[in-house]
Structure 1
């Protein structure tokens, strides 16, 4: 292991560099000289102090944790504290400009989300649970697509999206029906019917699944693509290697009153070793009372590996999701471990939604039409709901049609 003077310190922000240089000689004297001590021998309290100062800089903390195993274990609590989804909110203007904000669940703060400028059309952004953001620029040249990793600024160009993403050509584009996901095998994206896939380096998109089938969310997991329809509660599973349909997951039998059927929606949560289906009443407004009047959770009797092998699972109703929280937005649903470090509530669903509203107090001459944003938490233990739409979030107003918000989850795998 190198000593302090031969090891590059560019991964540390300047104030911490000075701290380490000041403290390290004292550590050497305490441990009997430089020849007996290396970077992995730094005291655990010092490692923890440095990691604590990096608690808001995800990229710096990831580089810090990659130095050696003792540093990784010594900063585990600080890393877990950052493993909390943030809400990406695209604030559209009446012109073509877009202000991107990130709302923090932990402290109710809004921060700017600087992304590369994309001149030449309206820009749309869609977050994900692995840190990547899909950006789509709608202009005269079609729909330019790219991936941006928000926490480092790294970007990657994708082929232009097919023309079907423009809908029927009527009205202003909102891409509210778009869903997508990323995996090491490639990117899958859907305009609302059918789906398209491209591998790294591909020059075009390839159709996957049934081109006329409704797709409201897509999830990529362990070499498979799950194309899910929230209304029918069924999913088509596509092998990401061959792009052939591997299985069809049918919905569980449910007794839903006819008058309530249009008010129910489902979300498929795909974990590496588990499939979960959430069936809930729709959340129409952040302050609506009595939500949800319908709430059921199902677990498949087969893991994703068995499903991709051709087995269609059956569903069993369960009481909840254990020591986890599920995050739901317009794109997908995903699980996050709830623990003492990240402050998430166990056995709960965090649902982000948006709704159109008219502000008739804006001006005496005309009403202001736009989109507002909300987050609500459903507790499976007692089926109660709490609105988190207060403070910073309730003040946001996106003029015009706006765009849906989406959860953005930090991932250390994409930072090294």
Structure 2
């Protein structure tokens, strides 16, 4: 073990960059020498997209499915007794943090399952809502918004606030995102609106069922993307042209992959990741299978048949089909 302490840091850096975060944590925990060497290395472990499976009474912890490695990861969360009694339900995620809601207590908290950090949010009440979105999460600030499926507008809170502020809208909202310092929303009719002066709105060009799935997400390159599920196994994608302020439909998102679900969606660079497909949309189909929709060829491919256990939480079980109870998650050490 002592020889590892004298190993060149650039070599250790190469090793670290090949490790997924769970393997990196195990690597670092082997001995004091390895831990010190890891701290001196500027390289970061590999980051992969995970699928957080619905809660179940698993004694090993919460189950995540790593997409590139095609295997489950079990993570023990803080306050495990409360989580496994299904008092808390995961309802959103961003930058390695998960939003947990307790309908029993009418409270929310942010949890990083990798580091074990927790942040308590102001009480919000026991009323069921449609979606909670973590709009920003960094060392300086966090912003959380809550959308209601039967009420216009949204509620929002941020770091340092001890309550929730209410914001009105013309219609019930499907999604909300922070992009380039401004908020964008998509309502039940597919209209996307930028919350800034002068106000701008983009109606959905196609008249569709008002409850059809839609979401907004940002690419690592800084583009805003609108996604609509046009049928059970087919999606359409538009990119916002900031020069003309118009939406341009596309069948090519380059080396990225989109991961979409009711509670959260994100764009991920897929080119250099094992078993990830570029220019695809990853989603859960009606049979609870993990699938990839190829944008160029408009075809669906089975990625993995998921084993989803029973869901015990009432807030979860009675509101959404099982495929919509799944969170996409990117682990983070911050």
1:250 paired with 2:208, answer no
2:159 pairs, out of 200, 204, 208, with 200
Offset at residue 246 of structure 1 (A) = 6.5
2:47 pairs, out of 55, 75, 83, with 83
Name the CA distance, whole Å, in 2 between partners of 1:109 and 1:343.
12
The 1:138–1:348 alpha-carbon spacing in structure 2 relative to 1, beyond 3 Å, is same
Correspondent of 1:409 among 315, 319, 330:
330
Structure 2: distance between partners of 1:398 and 1:86? 20
Partner residue in 2 for 1:280: 229
Are 1:378 and 2:304 counterparts?
no
Distance in structure 1 (CA, Å) of the matches to 2:10 and 2:159: 41
Residues 133 and 321 of structure 1: CA distance in aligned 2, closer, same or farther (over 3 Å): same
Query: Larger % of helix: which?
Result: 1
Which of the residues 79, 87, 107 maps onto 1:122?
87
Indicate the residue corresponding to 2:111 in structure 1. 148
Q: Mark the runs of 5 or more structure 1 residues left unpaired by the alignment.
A: 1-14, 28-41, 167-174, 240-244, 284-290, 304-311, 356-371
Contact 1:189–1:218 (8 Å) recurs in 2: no
Separation of aligned partners in 2, 1:218 and 1:144: 21
| 2:133 paired with 1:180 | yes
Counterpart CA distance in 1 for 2:24 and 2:147 is 30
Q: Does 1:297 align with 2:231?
A: no
170, 191, 204: which one pairs with 1:234? 191
User: C-alpha displacement at 1:377, in angstroms?
Assistant: 0.5
In 1, Cα distance between the equivalents of 2:20 and 2:258?
27
Separation in 2, partners of 1:279, 1:343: 25
Question: CA distance change for structure 1 residues 204 and 43 in 2, over 3 Å: closer, same or farther?
Answer: closer
Q: Does 1:335 pair with 2:297?
A: no
Cα-Cα RMSD: 3.5
The alpha-carbon deviation at position 252 of structure 1 amounts to 4.5
1:337 Cα deviation (Å)? Answer: 0.9
Equivalent-residue separation in structure 2 for 1:200 and 1:323 (angstroms): 34
5+ long unaligned stretches in structure 2 = 29-34
Provide Cα deviations, 1:48-86, integer angstroms capped at 9, x if missing partner.
235546753456899989856xx43xx46xx3xx32211
What's the CA shift for 1:409?
1.1
- Greater C-alpha radius of gyration: 1
When normalised by structure 2's length, the TM-score is 0.77
Asked if 1 retains the 8 angstrom alpha-carbon contact of 2:148 and 2:172, the reply is no
> Aligned partners of 2:60 and 2:124: how far apart in 1?
20
Provide, for residues 286-319 of structure 1, a one-character-per-residue CA deviation record: whole Å limited to 9, x for no partner. Answer: xxxxx32xx432222217xxxxxxxx92122223
Q: C-alpha displacement at 1:216, in angstroms?
A: 2.1
- Please say if 1:318 is aligned against 2:250: yes
Shift of the 100–214 alpha-carbon distance from structure 1 to 2, 3 Å rule, reads farther
Q: What CA deviation, in whole Å up to 9, does each residue of 1:134-171 have, x standing for no partner?
A: 111122xx4111100111010011001145x33xxxxx
Supply the distance in 2 between the matched residues of 1:275 and 1:52 (Cα, whole angstroms): 30
Q: Distance in 1 between matches of 2:145 and 2:210?
A: 28
Aligned to 2:70: 108
Deviation at 1:264, TM superposition (A): 4.8
Q: How many residues align?
A: 308
Instruction: Report the Cα distance in structure 1 between the residues aligned to 2:91 and 2:3, rounded to whole angstroms.
Output: 39
Partners of 1:238 and 1:59 in 2: CA distance: 41
Deviations 1:303-347 (A, max 9, x none): 7xxxxxxxx921222232111001101123321111223542111
Q: What is the match of residue 191 of structure 1? A: 148
> 1:164-200 deviations in whole A, cap 9, x for unaligned?
x33xxxxxxxx5x223124135222223332111121
CA distance in 2, matches of 1:152, 1:200: 19
Return the alpha-carbon distance in structure 2 between the equivalents of residues 54 and 328 of structure 1. Answer: 22
TM-score between the two structures when normalised by the length of structure 1: 0.64
